[in-house]
Structure 1
C-alpha cells in the first residue's frame, strides 16, 4: 500500500476540519432504476480489470453507465484527498485498508446499511478493516494475507521433512537451508524502509502483540511486541536474512534460483511463480505462518465505499452488492486471483478444492488488522523505523519500540 507523503497528510488534516461537518450533504438521491452514470475509482490491477466487469453489468442494467477510472496506487492517496477537499469524489471508490479510517473521519464516506449488508458474510478482519469508530463505511471487496512460501526440493536437501510450525523452527529451518542446502540466505524478510511493518505483522500478531489495542491506545512496546521484534531481529543477527535489500526487490527471482528458500508472501505470488518460473513448478509449497502463541497473519485488502455526497447512492449500493456477493466475488477471483472477502465464495470451484488455497482460507480465519485510524500511515511509519533500527543492529527491540510508542501516542485518536 502506498504511504501518504507529508504534504498529502497535511492536506488531509486541513481537509478533515472542513469536510467532517459537511459529509452526507449531497443532493437528492437518484432512483436506482433511473438512467444515470456511476463514476468509480479503483486502484492498480483492480482498476484495470474492473472495467471488464462493468461492461457486463451495463448489459444487465441498461439504465446504468459505469465509468471506471483506474488509479495507480502511487498517486491514489493524493488523488482521493484532493477530490475530497474539492467535493469531487466519485460515487464509488476502492478504499485500501490504511485509507478508510482517514476518509471516514473526514465525513466524506456514506455509512453502510448493515441491515442489508451482513457482517457475518465476510471474514471478521475484512469487516473490521472496513469500519471506523463503531460504524461501517465500506463493503469488503477482497482480502489479502501472508503465508510462508518455501522450496520443497531444497528442504529435502536441508533435511527438513515438514514446513516450520513454530517461530523457533522457522529460524532452525533458515539455518538448515544455509548450512545443508547451501542457499545464500535462509529467509527473506524486509530489513527496513517503506512498509517494513507488513513483513513484521506475522511475527507481531503471532506473538500476541499489536500496534493499537482494542481501546484505541498505542501498545507497540508491550512485552509481546518486544518479543516479536527480538525474534524478527534474530534472523538478521544470525545472518540468515539480508540486511540490505535494494528498492523494488523481487523475491521471486531469488526464490527461483534458490538463493532464497523461504519468504512470506501474498496470494498473487502463486500466479507469478506459475507463469514466470515453470522450472520450479512442483518444487515449492505454501504453509501457514509459523506459530508463536498461535499462527496469525496480517489482514489486508480493500473495500468499496460510497461518497457521502453522491447523488447516485442507490445505484452505487446495487453495483457494490453485485461485486461483493458470493457469485461476484468468485468471478473476481477468476479474473484477478484476489482472495474473496465473502466467505460463501469459497464453497465452490478451485476456491473449495485447491489444497494451496485451503492454506489461505485457514490463515484468513485468524488474520488480524490494525484498527482504523485517521493517521494510520504515520503510525505504521514509526514502527517501520523501529524495525530498521533493530535489523541494522543500532538498537535493541525494547528501546526501539519504547521510542515508537512515545511517537505513536501523539498520533492515535
Structure 2
C-alpha cells in the first residue's frame, strides 16, 4: 500500500515559493456550494484508487457536484504538487502527507482550515497537529498512521513468553528468548541504516523522552534521552539480535511468516497484508503497544486534506471534506481501505470499538508524536539516518554520532 512518502527537491520548492503569487480568491469569490460545479481532487496511492468509489456515492446525494479524482503515485506526488503550486494549478482538494505540509504552507498556496466547520476536538491530537503550522491549520486530518509491535504468539509460547513485552527492557529480554528458546534467527527486526532509518528509531527515541527538534525549533538530537535511546537501539545489532545488513526493499513480513523474525514494528496496513498473504499464520500473531521507556510513544503519520488558496470551489470543497472526515464517513473509509480513522468519533461503534487489535492502535494514537513541520525536515532526518547507521555498524558511539548530527542539524533550523 501507500505510506512513508518522502519529500524531495526541497531547493526547487523554496525557489518556486519566491515566484508564487499570494493567495487567490476568497470565500466571497467562490462558487456557492449548491451551484453546479466540478471539484478536482488529487489523492495518492491506495487512497487515490479507492476515493473514486466514494466520490460516486457522494455525487448521488449531491447531483450538482461532479467530483473528478486523479490518483497519483506517492513516488511522484511531491513533484507534481510542487509543479502545480508553482503554476498556480493546484486541484481544489489535495491529499498531503505530514512531511509536505510545512513546505506548502510556506509557499502560501493552502487555504486555512475553517474551524467553524472542522473542530480540533473531533480528531486525534497528533493528527490535527500534523496539519498545523505556526498556529494556523491548513489540513483536515483524513486518516492516521502509527507504529506498534507485531509479534508471533506461537513462537512466544515456545520461548516461554506469556505476555507481550511491556517495557523496553522486556523487549530486549524477549528478543533474546526468541533466539535462545524458540530458535529464531533474529530477535527483533529494526532498520540498520539507509533512507528513513529514523522511522524505525522513532519508537525508541520518543519513548525515551528524546526529540530531534523541540517545539521551540531548537535541535536537541544529542540530548541524554536521545543518546540513551540510540544506545538501546544499537545494542540489538551489537548483540546479534537484529540484522546489520538489510537489502533495499526488504519485506519483513516474509521473514515474519517464515519464523526467522519474531518481532517488528509496523503500521496498520500490515495487518491486512498478513491476513491476505499469509493465512497459515492467522491466529499466530498479535499486536501490542510500543514497550514503555519513560512512556509508550510512537510516531504519528497519515494524511490530511487541503484546499487550494486559489480554488473557486471552496464552499463545495469544505462540504466534501466534511463528508470524508466526519465520523460516519471515516468508518466507511476504514471498511474500504483499512486506513485508521483520524476522527475519534468513528471509533465508538462497530469493529473499531470492539476489535482488541484495533484498540491497541487507538491507544497508541493517543500518545503518538508528530514530526515538526519544517521545510528542511527531510534533510534534517537524513543526518539522523546517518548517525543511526554509524552506531548499528559499530563505527561510532551513540554520543559521538548524535553530537555530529546535532552540529549538522543546528545549521538547518536557524
User: Are 2:29 and 1:4 equivalent residues in the alignment?
Assistant: no
1:376 corresponding residue in structure 2: 377
Contact 2:7 2:100 (8 Å CA) reproduced: no
2:209 corresponding residue in structure 1: 208
1:24 corresponding residue in structure 2: 24
* Distance across 1 between alignment mates of 2:409 and 2:26: 35
1:360 corresponding residue in structure 2: 361
Task: Compute the TM-score of the two structures, normalised by the length of structure 1.
Answer: 0.97
Number of residue equivalences:
410
CA-CA distance at 1:181 after TM superposition: 0.5
* Distance across 2 between alignment mates of 1:24 and 1:208: 42
* Distance across 1 between alignment mates of 2:18 and 2:213: 24
2:236 corresponding residue in structure 1: 235
Contact 1:383 1:401 (8 Å CA) reproduced: yes
* Distance across 1 between alignment mates of 2:16 and 2:372: 22
CA-CA distance at 1:17 after TM superposition: 2.1
CA-CA distance at 1:26 after TM superposition: 6.9
User: Are 2:101 and 1:92 equivalent residues in the alignment?
Assistant: no
CA-CA distance at 1:2 after TM superposition: 2.7
1:191 corresponding residue in structure 2: 192
For residues 212-237 of structure 1, give each alpha carbon's deviation from its aligned partner in whole angstroms, at most 9, with x where no partner exists.
11112111111111111111101111
* Distance across 2 between alignment mates of 1:303 and 1:12: 20
SS at match of 1:303: strand
1:244 corresponding residue in structure 2: 245
In angstroms, what is the RMSD of aligned CA positions?
1.2
* Distance across 2 between alignment mates of 1:93 and 1:119: 20
* Distance across 2 between alignment mates of 1:17 and 1:383: 29
For residues 278-334 of structure 1, give each alpha carbon's deviation from its aligned partner in whole angstroms, at most 9, with x where no partner exists.
111111111110010011111100000001111111111111000000000000000
For residues 135-189 of structure 1, give each alpha carbon's deviation from its aligned partner in whole angstroms, at most 9, with x where no partner exists.
0000000000000000011011111111111111111110110111110100001
* Distance across 2 between alignment mates of 1:317 and 1:381: 36
Contact 1:15 1:85 (8 Å CA) reproduced: yes
SS at match of 1:299: strand
What is the 5 A alignment of 1:292-331?
292-331=293-332
* Distance across 1 between alignment mates of 2:383 and 2:317: 37
CA-CA distance at 1:411 after TM superposition: 1.9
1:134 corresponding residue in structure 2: 135
* Distance across 2 between alignment mates of 1:397 and 1:323: 44
* Distance across 2 between alignment mates of 1:409 and 1:321: 40
Contact 1:185 1:260 (8 Å CA) reproduced: yes
Which residues of structure 1 form unaligned runs of 5+? Answer: none
2:290 corresponding residue in structure 1: 289
2:225 corresponding residue in structure 1: 224
* Distance across 2 between alignment mates of 1:16 and 1:408: 23
The more displaced of 142-151 and 380-389 is: 380-389
CA-CA distance at 1:374 after TM superposition: 1.5
SS at match of 1:346: helix
* Distance across 2 between alignment mates of 1:230 and 1:24: 50
* Distance across 2 between alignment mates of 1:133 and 1:24: 21
SS at match of 1:142: strand
* Distance across 1 between alignment mates of 2:226 and 2:55: 44
Contact 1:128 1:371 (8 Å CA) reproduced: no
Contact 2:6 2:378 (8 Å CA) reproduced: yes
* Distance across 2 between alignment mates of 1:15 and 1:232: 39
Contact 1:382 1:404 (8 Å CA) reproduced: yes
CA-CA distance at 1:25 after TM superposition: 4.8
Where in structure 1 do 4 or more consecutive aligned residues deviate above 3 Å? 24-27
Residues 62, 17 of structure 1: alpha-carbon distance in 2 compared, 3 angstrom cutoff:
same
Contact 1:210 1:370 (8 Å CA) reproduced: no
SS at match of 2:163: coil
SS at match of 1:191: coil
User: Are 2:168 and 1:162 equivalent residues in the alignment?
Assistant: no
